[in-house]
């Protein structure tokens, strides 16, 4: 038991060598926080200013929902007749945040810039608490400040910028808890942030469950410094997540007639990833090129003029079918179910192709090179690919340095980072996937990449730190 305490819950030893230099790097990071904040404001604000026109677009109807919410107080959409219709088509947090801004593009650009700066600061602090070295934190923050996916998504009215900020804040609070102890206050912080992340993207519910599993395992192994409260973190986080989920389901039961735990968009994203046109594309010689989804979209628009669960429906030439017809009594819940049923029917007909498409989607999620498109040149594609190859190299080196150092790596922080990679890979192996959907994993991977600057020394640790470690 004593050895177990030493490994999983004891205080770190004080570094004996290079005390002066080390002290400079482990002093209170207030100055570095400001450096990181203003660097992020400069970069993210500059990109937002250049791409200001893109904030006028509303590709996923978040602004439309936010406008309805601000004008009528209804989380829904406004029809052509001016009437409002409650919806569960999108998760609620981002539209609520947008509803506090004006319809002008500048407030949204400012919001995204501040969220980007907050992300960089949280990543810096998480890495600093993990390694006790300001250089590691600054290097980790630098990766998220200039990341191509995060830069592009920060100029769009979509959830990635908010989602990444919430992930970064969660990892920061976990790093604080790992270093100073998982008491109930830290557990409440983590639970609230995970609940907000779930309300931003339902995918994060899987991440939250994996984190809770890690906390349960840590409690079982008596990994926390206080065995009397070893179950507190998992119980507190579970209660907060379950309560938030219950409130969202209750709202959806009243608003759309069904207690949806996620959104009514899941069926479409499942069908988008699993439809005959996409499977045919994967079989063709153009499988490595961008899929032209127009034939799918034509068929999807006419889904109520046939049976999309049958193979014959998708063989029709729907491009020449004229204007689509929608039943007046259809609901978004029934529409979601129809799309999901069509996707599942195809998977049942072509199980081998489904398995292959899962590998393709995982590759699309993690590939360093985006597709060449009419709006992206080959030079830009190779530049982005080169950046992500360098990033992957930094992550691998950071992992090696972390493993070689005396800073424990089997912590709840490391598990949370790995759990996000597992979550995104598992979800987007089945649902639609592309390179931008890995955005939530970037902060955690950047923390690991920051460890490249951590000098390997088995006799040194963050000074005066204690660690609650989950033996995973």
Kindly tell me the sign of the dihedral angle through the C-alpha atoms of 328, 329, 335, 341: negative
Answer whether residue 15 shows pLDDT above 50: no
User: Residue 278's pLDDT is what?
Assistant: 97
Find out whether 394 and 136 touch, Cβ atoms under 8 Å.
no
How many helices, marked H, and strands, marked E, lie in the chain?
A: 21, 2
pTM of the model: 0.90
Q: Please report which confidence band the pLDDT of residue 467 belongs to, taking 50, 70 and 90 as the band edges.
A: very low
Answer whether residue 240 shows pLDDT above 50: yes
Residue 451 Cα distances to 13, 400, 405, angstroms: 20, 9, 10
Q: Find the mean pLDDT for residues 31-54.
A: 96
User: Residue 225's pLDDT is what?
Assistant: 61
Predicted confidence (pLDDT) per residue in 177-205, tens digit: 988 888 889 999 999 999 999 999 999 99
The residues, ordered by sequence, that sit 6+ positions from 140 with a Cβ below 8 Å of its Cβ are: 123, 124, 126, 127, 446, 447, 449, 450
**Helical H runs in 221-350?**
232-256, 266-273, 276-283, 294-301, 311-315, 332-349
User: Residue 19's pLDDT is what?
Assistant: 39
Predicted confidence (pLDDT) per residue in 359-415, tens digit: 999 999 999 999 877 777 888 899 999 999 999 999 999 999 988 877 777 788 999
Q: Find the mean pLDDT for residues 290-294.
A: 93
Find out whether 205 and 426 touch, Cβ atoms under 8 Å.
no
**Helical H runs in 324-372?**
332-349, 351-366
User: Residue 182's pLDDT is what?
Assistant: 86
User: Residue 270's pLDDT is what?
Assistant: 98
Answer whether residue 8 shows pLDDT above 70: no
User: Residue 30's pLDDT is what?
Assistant: 86
Q: Which residue bears the tokens 């640790």? A: 461
Q: What is d(CA 429, CA 438) in angstroms, rounded to the nearest whole number?
A: 12
């Amino acid at each position: 038991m004593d050895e177990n305490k030493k490994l999983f819950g004891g205080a770190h030893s004080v570094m004996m060598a290079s005390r002066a230099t080390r002290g400079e790097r482990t002093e209170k990071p207030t100055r570095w926080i400001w450096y990181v904040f203003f660097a992020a404001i400069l970069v993210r604000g500059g990109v937002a200013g250049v791409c200001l026109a893109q904030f006028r677009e509303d590709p996923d109807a978040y602004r439309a929902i936010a406008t309805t919410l601000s004008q009528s107080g209804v989380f829904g959409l406004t029809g052509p007749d001016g009437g409002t219709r409650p919806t569960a088509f999108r998760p609620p947090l981002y539209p609520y945040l947008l509803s506090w801004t004006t319809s002008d593009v500048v407030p949204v650009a400012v919001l995204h810039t501040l969220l980007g700066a907050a992300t960089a600061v949280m990543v810096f602090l998480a890495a600093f608490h993990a390694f006790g070295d300001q250089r590691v934190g600054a290097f980790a923050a630098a990766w998220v400040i200039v990341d191509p996916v995060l830069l592009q998504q920060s100029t769009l009215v979509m959830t990635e910028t908010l989602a990444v900020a919430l992930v970064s804040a969660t990892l920061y609070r976990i790093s604080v808890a790992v270093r100073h102890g998982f008491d109930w206050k830290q557990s409440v912080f983590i639970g609230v942030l995970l609940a907000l992340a779930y309300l931003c993207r339902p995918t994060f519910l899987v991440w939250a469950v994996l984190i809770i599993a890690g906390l349960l395992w840590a409690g079982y192994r008596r990994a926390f410094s206080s065995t009397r409260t070893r179950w507190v973190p998992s119980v507190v986080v579970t209660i907060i997540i379950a309560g938030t989920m219950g409130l969202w389901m209750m709202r959806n039961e009243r608003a759309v007639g069904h207690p949806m735990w996620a959104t009514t968009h899941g069926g479409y994203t499942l069908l988008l990833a699993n439809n005959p046109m996409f499977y045919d594309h994967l079989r063709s010689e153009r499988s490595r090129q961008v899929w032209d989804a127009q034939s799918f979209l034509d068929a999807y628009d006419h889904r109520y003029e046939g049976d999309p669960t049958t193979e014959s429906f998708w063989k029709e030439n729907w491009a020449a079918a004229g204007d689509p017809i929608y039943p007046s009594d259809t609901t978004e819940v029934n529409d979601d179910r129809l799309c999901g049923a069509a996707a599942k029917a195809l998977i049942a007909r072509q199980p081998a192709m489904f398995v292959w498409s899962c590998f393709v989607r995982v590759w699309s999620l993690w590939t360093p090179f985006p597709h060449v498109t009419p709006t992206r040149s080959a030079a830009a594609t190779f530049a982005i690919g080169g950046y992500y190859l360098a990033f992957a190299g930094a992550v691998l080196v950071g992992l090696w340095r972390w493993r070689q150092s005396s800073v424990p790596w089997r912590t709840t922080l490391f598990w949370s980072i790995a759990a996000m990679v597992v979550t995104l890979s598992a979800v987007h192996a089945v649902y639609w996937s592309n390179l931008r959907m890995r955005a939530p994993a970037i902060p955690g991977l950047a923390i690991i990449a920051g460890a490249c600057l951590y000098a390997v020394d088995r006799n040194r640790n963050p000074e005066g730190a204690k660690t609650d470690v989950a033996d995973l």
